[in-house]
Amino acid sequence: MEPQFGLIYVRVSTKEQDEEGFSIAAQLRLLREYAQKNGIQIVREIVEIESAKRPGRPEFNEMVAFLKKNRSVRTVLVEKVDRLYRNKRDPLVLEDLEVTIHFVKEGQVISKDSKASEKFIHDIRIDLARLYSANLSEEVKKGLLEKARQGYYPGHAPYGYRHNNREIELHPETAKIVHLAHTLHASGRYSIRALSNEVHHQTGVRLPKNSLLHILRNEFYIGHFWWGGVRFEHKHPHIIDVALFQRVQAVLDGNFRPRHSKHNQAFRRVLTCAYCGCAVTAEIAKGKYTYYRCTGHRGKCTLPRFRERDLAEKLGGLLKDIQIPPETATRIKEGLNADTSQLHARRELERVNLQRALAKLRSHIDSAYEDKLEGTISEDFWNRKQSEWAGEERQLQTLIEGMENTKLNAKLLDASRIL
C-alpha cells in the first residue's frame, strides 16, 4: 500500500484567539492524532492567523502553491469548514487541485469522487459559514457605530494620539508635532513642502506632504470625526483649538493673507554648516542687522557668526559672469507666454467641468430630498447620504475657488522681470 501524504491547515479567526494560545494548539493536536490514526504522513503544517472573510490570505495562497508544486500531496486535514474557507472563491481553487479534504471535527471527507449528496451537504456548510461571517461583520459594524455614537473613536488612533488599554490618549511627542504644524501653517508663510521642511528642521521628523495635508484637514484634533458617513463629536483630548483650526483651513483654501515680517532673510533655511553638517539659521541683531550662525544641534560648533551682507557680496561675485543673451531671453519669454496660454485654456476647461459636476451633484441632492419628502427613501438613508454629498460639495467648491484664486499672470510677470 502506497503511503498517503498530506498537510495540515489550521486557522484562527482573530489575533485575540492567537494571543490566548489555545485555539491553534487544540486544532494541531486534533489533526495530528487524526493523521496518525488514519496512516496519513504529514509533510507540512500551515498556520493562518487571519480573517477568512476575503480571499487572498497569504498562508492559504502558500498552501495552494505548495499543492500545485507537490503533486504527491493530495490530502488536506482541517478542523471544520469555517476554518478553511468562508467565501465563494476558495472552494473552487481547491476543487481544481483535485485534493481530498478531511473535515475532522465534522466527520466529512470531500473529494472529486464524493457522492452528490455529500457535496450538497458540504455546500450547505459553506453557505452557513459565509452567513456566520457576514452576520459577524454586521454585528461588529453595529458595535463600532454604537461606540462612535457614545463619543469614542472606533478606529485606529490618528497621528498625534496613541492607544492605551483600548483608550485613545495624546502621544507625548507626535501631539506636539501636530500642534507645531498647525501653528506654523496658520501664519500663511509656508507652502506644504516648505512646512514639511520646517517641521523636519525643528523636530527632526519628516512628514510626507500628503500626510501633512491630512493632518491639517483632520477635524479629529478639534473634537470631531467621521464614521459611516456621519459626523460625531468625540470625548478624547483635543490637540488644537477651533480658532487655530479655522485659521489653518482659511490658509489652505487661499482665503487668508499673512502679515509678512519686515525682515527679509534671503538665505534662511538654504544653508548648511560646512563644519558639522547642521542647518544654518538666521537671527536679527539690533533690530536691523541679519546674521547667520550654526544651529549647533550636534554640539558646540566652531563656525563663526557672519553677516548676510558679507555673504551676499561673496555669492554675488560668483554670479556676475552668468548672463543670458537677449535673443535667448526673448525666446524664453515667448515660450512662457505660449505655455501660460495653454495652461489658461486647460484651467478654464477644468473649471467648467468642475462646475458641471457641482451642478449635477446639487440636482441629485434635490431629487433625493424630494424622494425623502414623498417617503421613497428613509430618513436614516437621507441623513447618511446627505453628509456624504455635503462633503463632496465642499470639495468641489474648494477646487473651483482654488482655480479662480490662482494668478498665472503674476507668475509670468515675475519670470519676465527676472529675464
Calculate what percentage of the chain has a pLDDT beyond 90: 27
Question: Average pLDDT of 42-46?
Answer: 92
Question: Average pLDDT of 390-406?
Answer: 72
Please tell me the distance from the alpha carbon of residue 208 to that of residue 181, in angstroms, as a whole number: 12
Phi, psi torsion values for 291, nearest 5 degrees: -120, 155
Name the amino acid, one letter, at 417: R
266 — pLDDT class (breaks 50, 70, 90): confident
86 — pLDDT class (breaks 50, 70, 90): low
More confident residue, 115 or 254: 115
The alpha carbon dihedral of 88, 93, 99, 101 has a sign of negative
Could you give the strand order of the β-sheet that contains 100-103, starting from the edge strand earlier in sequence? 40-49, 4-12, 73-78, 100-103, 108-110
20 — pLDDT class (breaks 50, 70, 90): very low
Please tell me the distance from the alpha carbon of residue 335 to that of residue 60, in angstroms, as a whole number: 58
Question: In the numeric block, which cell numbers belong to residue 99?
Answer: 485534493
pLDDT at 346 (0 to 100): 78
Q: Is the pLDDT of residue 76 over 60?
A: yes
Q: Which of 6-10, 104-108, 170-174 is predicted with the least confidence, judged by mean pLDDT? A: 104-108
Q: Which helix (H) or strand (E) holds 283?
A: strand 280-285
Residues 323-375 pLDDT 10s: 778 888 888 888 877 777 777 777 788 778 888 888 888 888 888 888 878 77
Name the amino acid, one letter, at 271: L
Q: Is the pLDDT of residue 16 over 50?
A: no
pLDDT at 170 (0 to 100): 94
77 — pLDDT class (breaks 50, 70, 90): very high
Residue 47 pairs in a beta bridge with 10
Q: Is the pLDDT of residue 50 over 70?
A: no
Phi, psi torsion values for 11, nearest 5 degrees: -150, 145
Distances (CA, A) of 277 to 55, 298, 299, 397: 50, 9, 11, 45
Chain position carrying cell 471527507: 109
Question: Average pLDDT of 234-260?
Answer: 82
pLDDT at 116 (0 to 100): 86
Largest CA distance in the chain: 99
Using alpha carbons only, how large is the chain's radius of gyration in Å?
32
Please tell me the distance from the alpha carbon of residue 153 to that of residue 226, in angstroms, as a whole number: 9
pLDDT at 317 (0 to 100): 77
Q: Is the pLDDT of residue 186 over 50?
A: yes
Question: Average pLDDT of 148-175?
Answer: 91
Q: Residue 127 gets which letter from DSSP?
A: H
Mean pLDDT for the chain?
82
Q: Is the pLDDT of residue 143 over 60?
A: yes
